[in-house]
Amino acid sequence: MRNRKSHEGLALLALASSAILLLSSASNSQDAIAGRLKAKPCSICHGSDGIAVAANAPNLAGENATYIEAQLKAFRSGKRKHHQMSIIAASLSDADIINLARWYSLIKVVATTPDLD
């Protein structure tokens, strides 16, 4: 009887863990979708795929989400200064920043080394 309860407990734990992972995945997907929508104006400088089209703008595609969040928050707070980015970041909520960071971090970037032979 004890063994059966142990197996039932493990099954419930596995089911709960799966549900949490599914909800987390759905939430991350929602973040990325919201980020993609919010990023439309960013494409003027950073490109629609996160690869910069303006010479003085960095590529954001594939960048670490934590780094993007930190930089946007630094622009918003004034800790980091850039005329355009400070103005843009001032209007972003914490959720906007998380969503943008999620979107850009999910873009896959492939690098190829030059054939020098």
- The Cα–Cα gap between 3 and 17 comes to 21
Q: Is the pTM of this model over 0.85?
A: no
For 65-82, the pLDDT digits (tens) are: 999 999 999 999 999 999
Q: What is the four-CA torsion angle of 26, 100, 93, 76, rounded to 10 degrees?
A: 150
**pLDDT at residue 23 in the model:** 45
**pLDDT at residue 31 in the model:** 87
Higher confidence at residue 94 or residue 8? 94
For 20-68, the pLDDT digits (tens) are: 544 444 455 678 899 999 999 999 999 999 999 999 999 999 999 999 9
Distance of CA 43 to the CA centre of its chain: 16
- What are the chain's domains? 32-106 (1.10.760.10)
